């Protein structure tokens, strides 16, 4: 032990030996991270708590000295918020930087972390949160209404497959370092754009297929009954859906509007429209 | 109406859902369908459970808490709604409207519970930081994980109260609902999915690519294509545009390098 301490004293002065983490260490960090990605979420530092807890075993192996760790964790406890699946890739890239044991490793790692969390959050939200769950969720929902769980099984299969891809990606990110992500930053931006277009298309389709606002209002002139809904649908099909979605879209842009307040408004409006027999 | 085993299983299920949606996220896609299915299994009517799960899943589409924001929580709403609808012995459309009367308010109030839970995190993160300063690594882990007690409790406790003390009151309340309220809720079940899509439209770059809304709408409304077919067509468009953007970048990069004089970068 004494020798170790002496070695570290001298090492601190000279160039230090990098510590390469093996797959087992990385798996330990990853396991901790996937189980805790957003626990202890708070509005000050958001996802930083589980980040530090997850990286600790690896950091302990790299630095060994508790005083150094406590100092470094002061930085890592600062604000972090990203799409949790990409969060683990950033975590791996930071461990790659820390493995070099450079004097300013933590500073570099924090720059990487802050620089990547915004763009990667955008990409993760677009693909992992918006696109796939919307499309697969709709398929699962329709099949379930018809009495089949096949659509749900498909959705979960895709979910697990993508989850595994992110798990596997973590290792090359550590081994090749930050360059693995940064060299692809242009492509990632393009991928986000392309996927948002797919998202917009799907939303357009769902306004027609999933929203269901029927206008049932009718009036009688002589012995001729006119149905307002049929009239409007002959101009544009699913007219009620378009009006409802547009109205909600507009409403969400108002100040002090939240999604939960909007639910109450929708219910109130629906009850009024239902009672007046305008919709049904 | 509920036996103790059902209450315990569903309370644990709610705790699992709340943890899973933020952390593991392995079974996230279409999970509201599964909420209906599983609750149906526990309550003894899988078919009705799936019907409610499917209906509520459509309402939940697009409701994504991006960047730490809180959105209505249909997973727990679906569990509560399905449990009561089946517990009252209902089936078909009647079960769906009853499940909505309980499930949708639970989902909407969930936004506030989520905010409360995230606010409670402040206390625990400071405890964890203090432990880290003292190099007490074990304590740090314990404090970070202890934050889950209020976070999950905020969901489990109301659920248990609803299913034990509250169940009789809710049954009486639902039975006293007039017909016009039920027809209003049927209208709402068709309109609520629009909320998710409106939120997505606020989030997606509509200013730049908004005209693609029309493309998707035409495929569904005029050509009556299924969702899977539209998703496949969309993937083709997506890949094509991605390749185009990549080509543009490459051309811009090579044009830039020839103009400057062959400044070789890593590509």
ipTM: 0.88
Rg (C-alpha) for chain A, rounded Å, is 27
pLDDT over threshold 90, residue A280: no
Higher pLDDT, B114 or A119: B114
| Helix and strand totals (H; E) in chain A | 13, 2
Write the DSSP symbol of residue A129: I
Please check whether residue B222 touches A, CB under 8 A.
Answer: yes
Angle at which helix B92-133 crosses helix B74-87, to 10 degrees, equals: 140
| Two structure tokens written together for A244 | 């409802």
Query: Would you state the pLDDT for residue B263?
Result: 46
CB contact under 8 A, A259 and B144: no
Query: Would you state the pLDDT for residue B73?
Result: 92
Query: Would you state the pLDDT for residue A178?
Result: 66
Rg (C-alpha) for chain B, rounded Å, is 24
CB contact under 8 A, B111 and A273: no
Minimal CA–CA distance to B196: which of A5, A83, A138, A95? A138
Question: At A18, is the secondary structure helix, strand, or coil?
Answer: coil
pLDDT over threshold 50, residue A255: yes
Helices (H), chain B: 4-22, 31-43, 46-60, 74-87, 92-133, 137-146, 148-163, 167-175, 179-191, 193-203, 206-209, 212-221, 227-260
Q: Which chain B residues are closer than 8 Å to A248 by Cβ?
A: 194-195, 198
Torsion of CA A81, A82, A88, A91, to 10 degrees: -50
CB atoms within 10 A of CB B12: 11
Residues of chain B with pLDDT under 50: 261-267
Q: Which helix H or strand E contains A226, and what residues bound it?
A: strand A224-227
Please check whether residue A232 touches B, CB under 8 A.
Answer: no
Backbone angles phi, psi at A227, to 5 degrees: -105, 120
CB contact under 8 A, A263 and B104: yes
Averaged over A252-263, what is the pLDDT? 91
Query: Would you state the pLDDT for residue B259?
Result: 55
For chain A, give the percent of residues with pLDDT over 90. 63
pLDDT over threshold 90, residue A241: yes
Query: Would you state the pLDDT for residue B90?
Result: 94
Give the whole-angstrom CA distance, residue B121 versus residue A124: 24
Chain A residue with minimal CA distance to B101?
Answer: A267
Query: Would you state the pLDDT for residue B262?
Result: 43
- Cα A183–Cα A189–Cα A195 angle in degrees, nearest 5: 135
Please check whether residue B232 touches A, CB under 8 A.
Answer: no
Give the whole-angstrom CA distance, residue B134 versus residue A66: 9
Report the range of poorest mean pLDDT among A36-40, A115-119, B102-106.
A115-119
Chain A residue with minimal CA distance to B182?
Answer: A271
Question: At A220, is the secondary structure helix, strand, or coil?
Answer: strand
* Res. A240 pLDDT band, cuts 50 70 90: very high
Are the C-beta atoms of residues B98 and B84 closer than 8 Å to each other? yes
Residues 212-231 of chain A with CB under 8 A from chain B are 212-214
pLDDT over threshold 50, residue A230: yes
Are the C-beta atoms of residues B93 and B185 closer than 8 Å to each other? no
Chain A: closest CA distance from residue B157 (Å): 19
CB proximity list for B7: less than 8 A, separation 6 or greater: B160, B163, B164
**Residue that the structure tokens 């009486």 belong to:** B172
Averaged over A32-37, what is the pLDDT? 96
Handedness of CA B75, B76, B77, B80 (dihedral sign): positive
Chain B: closest CA distance from residue A104 (Å): 20
Chain B: closest CA distance from residue A60 (Å): 10
Q: Which chain B residues are closer than 8 Å to A81 by Cβ?
A: 67-68
Q: How many CB pairs under 8 A join A and B?
A: 387
* Res. A189 pLDDT band, cuts 50 70 90: confident
The residues pairing with A80 across neighbouring beta strands, listed in sequence order, are: A46
The residues pairing with A225 across neighbouring beta strands, listed in sequence order, are: A220
Backbone angles phi, psi at A215, to 5 degrees: -90, 120
Q: Which helix H or strand E contains B224, and what residues bound it?
A: none
Please check whether residue A197 touches B, CB under 8 A.
Answer: yes
Q: Which chain A residues are closer than 8 Å to B222 by Cβ?
A: 237
Residues 44-63 of chain A with CB under 8 A from chain B are 44-46, 48-50, 52-53, 56, 60
CB contact under 8 A, A81 and B111: no
pLDDT over threshold 50, residue A97: yes
Question: At A20, is the secondary structure helix, strand, or coil?
Answer: coil
Residues 74-103 of chain B with CB under 8 A from chain A are none
CB contact under 8 A, B111 and A70: no
pLDDT over threshold 50, residue A64: yes
Chain B: closest CA distance from residue A23 (Å): 21
Minimal CA–CA distance to B111: which of B162, B154, B54, B173? B154
Query: Would you state the pLDDT for residue A15?
Result: 59
Q: Which chain B residues are closer than 8 Å to A272 by Cβ?
A: 184
Chain A: closest CA distance from residue B228 (Å): 7
Which residue in B68, B133, B210 is closest to A70 by CB distance? B133
Averaged over A159-181, what is the pLDDT? 88
Please check whether residue A31 touches B, CB under 8 A.
Answer: no
Angle at which helix B167-175 crosses helix B148-163, to 10 degrees, equals: 60
Chain A: closest CA distance from residue B27 (Å): 5
What's the number of CA atoms in the CB half-sphere (13 Å) around residue A110? 14
Please check whether residue B180 touches A, CB under 8 A.
Answer: yes
Residues in chain A: 280
CB contact under 8 A, B241 and A197: yes
């Amino acid at each position: 032990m004494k020798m170790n301490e002496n070695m570290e004293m001298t090492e601190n002065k000279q160039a230090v030996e990098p510590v390469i983490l093996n797959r087992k260490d990385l798996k330990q960090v990853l396991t901790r991270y996937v189980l805790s990605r957003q626990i202890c979420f708070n509005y000050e530092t958001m996802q930083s708590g589980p980040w530090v807890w997850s990286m600790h075993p690896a950091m302990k192996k790299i630095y060994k000295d508790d005083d150094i760790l406590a100092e470094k964790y002061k930085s890592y406890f600062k604000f972090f918020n990203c799409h949790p699946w990409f969060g683990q890739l950033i975590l791996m890239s930071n461990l790659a930087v820390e493995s070099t044991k450079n004097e300013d490793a933590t500073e570099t790692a924090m720059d990487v972390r802050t620089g990547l969390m915004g763009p990667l959050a955008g990409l993760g939200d677009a693909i992992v949160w918006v696109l796939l769950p919307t499309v697969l969720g709709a398929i699962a929902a329709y099949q379930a209404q018809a009495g089949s769980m096949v659509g749900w099984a498909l959705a979960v299969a895709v979910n697990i497959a993508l989850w595994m891809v992110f798990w596997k990606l973590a290792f090359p990110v550590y081994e090749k370092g930050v360059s693995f992500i940064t060299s692809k930053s242009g492509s990632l931006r393009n991928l986000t754009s392309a996927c948002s277009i797919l998202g917009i298309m799907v939303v357009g389709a769902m306004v027609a297929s999933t929203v269901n606002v029927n206008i049932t209002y009718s009036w009688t002139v002589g012995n001729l009954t006119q149905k307002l809904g049929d009239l409007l649908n002959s101009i544009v099909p699913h007219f009620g859906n378009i009006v409802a979605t547009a109205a909600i879209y507009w409403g969400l842009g108002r100040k002090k509007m939240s999604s939960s307040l909007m639910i109450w408004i929708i219910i109130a409006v629906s009850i009024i429209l239902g009672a007046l027999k305008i919709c049904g | 109406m509920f036996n103790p085993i059902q209450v315990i299983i569903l309370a644990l299920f709610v705790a699992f859902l709340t943890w899973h949606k933020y952390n593991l996220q392995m079974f996230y896609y279409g999970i509201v369908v599964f909420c209906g299915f599983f609750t149906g299994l526990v309550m003894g009517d899988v078919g009705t459970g799936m019907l409610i799960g499917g209906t509520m899943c459509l309402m939940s589409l697009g409701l994504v808490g991006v960047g730490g924001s809180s959105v209505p929580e249909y997973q727990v709403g679906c569990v509560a709604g399905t449990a009561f609808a089946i517990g009252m012995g209902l089936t078909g459309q009647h079960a769906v409207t009853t499940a909505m009367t309980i499930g949708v308010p639970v989902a909407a109030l969930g936004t506030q519970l989520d905010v409360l839970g995230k606010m409670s995190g402040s206390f625990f993160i400071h405890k964890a930081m203090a432990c880290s300063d003292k190099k007490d690594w074990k304590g740090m882990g314990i404090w970070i994980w202890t934050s889950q007690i209020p976070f999950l409790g905020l969901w489990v406790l109301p659920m248990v109260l609803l299913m034990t003390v509250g169940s009789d009151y809710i049954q009486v309340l639902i039975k006293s609902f007039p017909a016009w309220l039920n027809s209003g809720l049927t209208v709402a079940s068709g309109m609520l999915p629009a909320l998710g899509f409106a939120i997505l439209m606020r989030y997606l770059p509509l200013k730049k690519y908004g005209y693609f809304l029309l493309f998707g709408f035409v495929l569904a409304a005029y050509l009556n294509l299924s969702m899977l077919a539209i998703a496949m067509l969309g993937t083709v468009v997506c890949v094509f545009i991605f390749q185009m953007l990549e080509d543009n970048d490459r051309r811009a990069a090579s044009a830039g390098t020839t103009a400057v004089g062959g400044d070789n970068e890593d590509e």
